[in-house]
Structures are given as C-alpha cells and as structure tokens.
Amino acid sequence: MSIHPFHSYLNQYSETSLPGWSAQKKMCPAPINGEQIQRHADNDRGYPSSVLVPLFPGSNRDLNVILTLRSQSIRHAGQISFPGGRAEVNETPVETALRETKEEVGIEPDAVHIAGTMSPLYLDRSDNRISPFVGFLESEPELTRNPNEVEEIIIVKIDQLLNDHLLRREIWELQDRKLEVPYWDIHRVPLWGATAMMMSELLELYQKFLNERN
C-alpha cells in the first residue's frame, strides 16, 4: 500500500505558510451582538496539548478522517473531537498526539505517517494550546475504542465536508452569550467548536490540493 498523495502535498507547508486563522475563523462561533472575534497574538499561552488528524484512503483513493465522541467522564464531554489531549512531562507535541491516539482508538504510532502540523489553536475556556498533527494511515486501521475516554468512533469522508449540504448555522446560548455557531451535521452530535475550526483549515488545504491536481 502507498501513502495518499495529499501527504506529500502537506509536506510543503510550514506553520507560517498555512492558512491559519483565516481558515479557522470560518467555523468559529461568533457573538451575534457584532463583537469582533479576536485571535490571540501570543501563540505560547495555554497548557500544551496535541491532537492527531488521522486520515486513511477509501476504495476510490478518497480520504476518510477518524473522529471520536468523547465520553461523559472526561474534559469536553459529549463533543466530537480528534484523538488527543494534554502533554505529559518531557513529551514533544507529536509524541502527545500519537500517545493519546493509541490510548483512545488503538492506532499504533509506527502505523502513522506524520505529514506535518496545522496551525495551533488556543482555547480560552480550558486554557489549552492545541497543536494539530495530520497523520496518514496506509489503509483503514483496526480501531479499539477506549470506553473510559471514547463513547464512539466516527469515520467521515472528507469529500462530504467539502460540500455545504452538511453545513449548518444556529444561534446557541453558551457561557451566558448568544452566539451564531457553524457546525457540520454529520452525527446526532454536531461537529463544531475547536475541532471544526481545525477541520476547516484541513479542508482548505485539501481543496487546494484537489484544485492543483485537476
């Protein structure tokens, strides 16, 4: 089996050349009172955390992404997320992403081909600074759910998210504020928030990849 060509395409990007906030902002909940959404300039703030964006090819060489529905007993319970979590002592960001992925869904680190990192994302509510890494698998992996952390493993075709037919916007009340929340209607639980913001950057890169191949 070979690695999907999107892997080598992502290798050309450094953190400074990524779409970053311009892509993330498209899926960022926004106050309906007209208040501007601000990106924090200090990229080093927050507790270091990492996630893996695990991708594997389908039968037509399209791409699938592995997501988790977090169990009710852990941080951000009941939300859809990428596998990941907070760093341990003396652990590099990519080591955190690979360790957490093995713990949550059973993917061995040596099966993952890291293409690079996407733009970091700071979360005010949890004071986490998330480093997302895109990792490719040569084929669909055997997944083992850790019931202590993961309620359900969700696999979504990337092409589905490129099409706006799954994109929704609703007014939600969060932390005593009314926000317009964009999300993807892929499951009984919406894909929104930080995970959707990171996914938005991945989709922008994937769309560029598709355009350049055609």
For residue 144, give every residue at least 6 positions away whose Cβ sits within 8 Å of its Cβ, in sequence order, or none: 105, 106
Kindly tell me the burial class for residue 209, based on how many C-beta atoms sit within 10 Å of its own C-beta (0-12, 13-18, 19 or more).
middle
Residue 182 pLDDT exceeds 60: yes
Residue 2 pLDDT exceeds 80: no
Question: Was domain 6-35+47-209 assigned CATH 3.90.79.10?
Answer: yes
Residue 192 pLDDT exceeds 60: yes
Query: Can you tell me the distance from the alpha carbon of 49 to that of 84, in angstroms, rounded to the nearest whole number?
Result: 7
| Best CA proximity match to 202, nearest among 87, 82, 106, 68 | 82
For 43, the token pair is 């990229």
Start-to-end CA distance of the chain, whole Å, equals 24
Neighbours of 42 (CB within 10 A): 8
pLDDT in tens, 59-88: 888 999 999 999 876 665 689 999 999 999
pLDDT in tens, 122-177: 987 778 899 999 999 999 999 999 999 999 999 999 999 998 999 999 999 987 88
What is residue 111's DSSP assignment?
G
φ, ψ for residue 201 (rounded to 5)? -70, -40
Neighbours of 214 (CB within 10 A): 4
| Best CA proximity match to 69, nearest among 42, 111, 104, 102 | 104
Structure confidence at residue 41 (pLDDT): 47
**Coil vs helix vs strand at 12:** coil
Residue 40 pLDDT exceeds 60: no
Report the predicted TM-score, pTM, of the whole model to 2 decimal places: 0.94
For 57, the token pair is 């090819």
